[in-house]
Amino acid sequence: MPDPTEPQSADPPDAPHVRAVTPDVLAGERVDRAVARLSDCTRSEASDAITRGDVVVSDRVVTKPSQRLEVGDELVVLVDPRRTPQPLAPDPAVELHVVFEDEDLIVVDKPAGLVVHPGPGHDASTLVHGLAARYPELDPNSWASAVGEPDRPGLVHRLDRGTSGLLVVARTPEAHADLVAQLAAHRVGRVYTALVWGHPEHAHGVIDAPIGRSRRNPLRMTVAVDGRDSRTHYQVDGGFDDPWRSALLTCRLETGRTHQIRVHLDSIGHPVVGDDLYGPRRPTPGLDRPFLHARHLEFIHPGSGETVAFDSPLPQDLEQVLARLSPQPG
């Protein structure tokens, strides 16, 4: 019997998974990178698809992941290259700080450092492993579970590993569909506290800039003309001059792209303090993660129809950083 965790060859489907004519933005790009980008898969999964003969460029099967695309090339990915998720093993050792729960949903206050769901390099001890252990309806291995994606049961949105704060998890398919629809309609209120380098020129503003994956570094997102619409509202709550010239911001998400606040603040020249991926590698004693906290969450309860709101205090590590800062005079 073949190993279900390994990629398996498959007969071409009636319609290919992806069919696209190479645009200018992908001219000169490696085929494996293009497949990963267009299929929303990893480079490893893209390379496996090429090895299996599932990728065709201008009517010729690709044999080398390093082959470069030219403008006008027709790229066809015959079969979805994403691997079937491995069974998720519930893990009762994962500590959960649940601030609210009822028969429809759960609101969790996530600590910094906890990964939300399985992914490359994180196949155990994530938030969803803890949720599956505590809430049987979120165990995707159960015949009765149908709440969201198999490797992300119940998740409506997510937080980066280094970001602390609130997120909501659905316990029923109906609640999940309702909350996802609210998120898509920009009806979920998400407010963050961020400490950034420097002093923004304006006391408040809206950063309206599309976000896509960086072509130079696949771990980074970036402002890109071909990215997805993204908007972040910000307000400056205070400035500091010592020991770092910095400012405390309130950020409100209108959309929710990967790394959105971090990318947007970096794009206006004020990256989040402690963010080594987007910001400068400056010493920040006592801080080993981005100074970013999801402090407020508000939505319409899918069961009662009433607006509910939750707040999370600033974690101790971030409070200690603020205590060392001297306010800007005047």
Range of the domain at 32: 18-77
Is 28 inside a domain boundary?
yes
Q: What is the pLDDT at residue 14? A: 47
pLDDT 10s digits, 313-325:
999 999 999 999 9
Q: Both 145 and 219 in a single domain?
A: no
Query: What's the pLDDT at 84?
Result: 63
Per-residue pLDDT reduced to its tens digit, 278-297: 988 887 878 999 999 999 99
One domain for residues 223 and 180? no
> Is 160 noted as a catalytic residue in this protein?
yes
Mean pLDDT (whole number) for 8-25 = 62
Q: What is the pLDDT of residues 88-102, one digit of tens each?
A: 889 999 999 999 999
Q: Would 12 be classed as within a structural domain?
A: no
Share of the chain above pLDDT 90, in %: 60
Query: Is there a domain that residue 193 lies in?
Result: yes
In a domain, 293, yes or no: yes
CATH number at residue 69: 3.10.290.10
For the domain that residue 159 is a member of, what is the CATH number?
3.30.2350.10
Mean pLDDT of the region 39-64: 86
Give the pLDDT score at 86.
64
pLDDT average, residue stretch 226-243:
94
Is the model's pLDDT at 44 over the cut of 70?
yes
**195 shares its domain with 315:** yes
The chain-wide mean pLDDT, for the chain, equals: 88
Higher pLDDT, 329 or 189: 189
- pTM value is 0.76
Q: With bands split at pLDDT 50, 70 and 90, how would you rate the model's confidence at 15? A: low
Q: Looking at the structure, do residues 207 and 323 belong to the same domain, yes or no?
A: yes
Residue whose entry in the numeric block shows the structure tokens 């020991």: 243
The percentage of the chain sitting over the pLDDT mark of 70, rounded to a whole number, equals 91
- Of the residues 80, 139, 160, 275, which is catalytic? 160
Q: Is residue 93 part of a domain?
A: no
Residue 92 lies in a domain: no
Co-location of 168 and 200 in the same domain: no
Q: With bands split at pLDDT 50, 70 and 90, how would you rate the model's confidence at 107?
A: very high
Q: Is residue 170 domain-shared with residue 138, that is, in the same domain? A: yes
Task: Tell me which range, 95-99, 214-218, 242-246, 323-327, is most confidently predicted by mean pLDDT.
Answer: 95-99
How does pLDDT run across 133-171, given as a tens digit for each residue?
Answer: 999 888 877 645 667 777 788 999 999 999 999 999 999
Residue 250 maps to a domain:
yes
* Domain edge (last residue) among 127, 155, 184: 184
The verdict on 289 and 312 lying in the same domain is yes
Please report whether residue 57 resides in a domain: yes
Spatial separation of the C-alpha atoms in residues 112 and 108, rounded to whole Å: 12
Provide the number of structural domains found in the chain: 3
Q: What is the mean pLDDT of residues 230-250?
A: 96
Asked whether 132 and 118 are in contact (CB, 8 A), the reply is no
pLDDT value at 5 more than 60: no
Mean pLDDT of 259-265: 97
Position 57 pLDDT exceeds 80: yes
